[in-house]
Amino acid sequence: MAKSLLDSAGDSYSVSNAVFAIIRGHRRSLDVTTVQQGEARFFSVLMLTWGFVADVDIESEKYRWMGSARFDFYCFLRVVNMRKYHGNVQFVPAAGYEVYGEPLDRNESCKDEVPEQTCGVAARVQQCGYTGPKISLEDLEWKSVNGPFILVWLNNVPWSGEDVMPAPEAKFSDGFLDVVIVKDCPKTAFLSLMLKMNDGSHVKSRYVMYLKVKAFRLRPGQRVGNPDKGGIIDSDGEVIARGEGTYECSLQETDLMTYGPPIQMTVDKGLATIFSPK
């Protein structure tokens, strides 16, 4: 987040610049994404990943002793041993991105809609706090893309790290998520894509589907060629769901959501307020 804020003002990424941004006290609005599966909710301000990026982010924990180099090292290992995942994604594209995906029958989109909370004490307790944006999804024009997928990456801001810009067109409070999808890509071309993420030029590749969406549903599946193993769904650096046979750390707690059933994301435009350099 700090990298995205400083870069938007033309400032270099450093601790001192981040501190001065707070001292100056300028503020700006920030979208908040509600990630929902049944009664389970997670509020995200950065990103949600499934596939390659989530695997690298979480499974590289075993190499934490390497410092930040663990990401580059494990990224290379995952490219050499590329994984693909069965699954399906559905989304409501922003204006100008309607060309992506196949139209989804309205009855089909309603069938996959994440159910509302059930009645009861737990539901009443949750409703005392923020429960997500109040929008109707049933009247929207949904699109669908079937897997297999190498990666699905949803972003709220341009930068996900100091030198990784997966979503060059992302805005802080435009009411949309920027989605990066890679379905099929040769290993050498994919490695080139990863290297181009330092300036966002990867989105020009014919192997990359890059679009803005108002709402998004992810139905994750098993690994291609290895149906006994699933994947990892990672939001803002935290595992929210994982399939069978995935990496588990010794400090792992019960995951918030279940791997397999659809997970839905909706955006509340400008809900949060954050300090900004300008």
pLDDT value at residue 200: 92
pLDDT at 102 over 60: yes
pLDDT at 118 over 50: no
pLDDT at 121 over 80: no
Q: How far is CA 218 from the centre of its chain?
A: 10
Whether residue 12 is contained in a domain is answered as: no
Whether residue 21 is contained in a domain is answered as: no
| Tokens, residue 6 | 């400083």
pLDDT at 109 over 70: no
pLDDT value at residue 152: 97
Whether residue 4 is contained in a domain is answered as: no
Supply the CATH number for residue 92's domain: 2.60.200.40
Q: Which pLDDT band holds residue 123 (cuts at 50, 70, 90)?
A: very low
User: Which one is predicted more confidently, 199 or 250?
Assistant: 199
pLDDT at 117 over 70: no
Q: Please report, for residues 25, 36, 65, 277, the alpha-carbon distance to residue 273 in angstroms, rounded to integers and kept in the order given.
A: 11, 22, 35, 13
DSSP for 78-130, please give it: HHHT---EEEEEEEEEPTT-TTSSEE--HHHHHHTSPPPPPSSHHHHHHTTS-
Residue 18 CB neighbours (<10 A): 18
User: Which one is predicted more confidently, 127 or 216?
Assistant: 216
Total domain count, the chain: 1
Whether residue 3 is contained in a domain is answered as: no
Q: How far is CA 79 from the centre of its chain?
A: 20
pLDDT at 113 over 80: no
pLDDT value at residue 156: 95
Q: Quote the domain boundaries for residue 153.
A: 32-271
Q: Dihedral angle at the C-alpha atoms of 199, 204, 207, 211, nearest 10 degrees? A: 90
Whether residue 2 is contained in a domain is answered as: no
Whole-angstrom Cα distance, residue 278 to residue 276? 5
pLDDT value at residue 129: 66
pLDDT value at residue 6: 85
Contact assessment for residue 89 and residue 132, using Cβ atoms and an 8 Å cutoff: no
Contact assessment for residue 264 and residue 217, using Cβ atoms and an 8 Å cutoff: yes
Q: What is the mean pLDDT of the chain?
A: 86
Whether residue 87 is contained in a domain is answered as: yes
pLDDT value at residue 39: 87
Contact assessment for residue 4 and residue 156, using Cβ atoms and an 8 Å cutoff: no
Q: Which pLDDT band holds residue 122 (cuts at 50, 70, 90)?
A: very low
Q: Per-residue pLDDT tens for 196-247? A: 999 999 999 999 999 999 999 999 999 999 999 999 999 998 899 998 888 7
Whether residue 22 is contained in a domain is answered as: no
Whether residue 109 is contained in a domain is answered as: yes
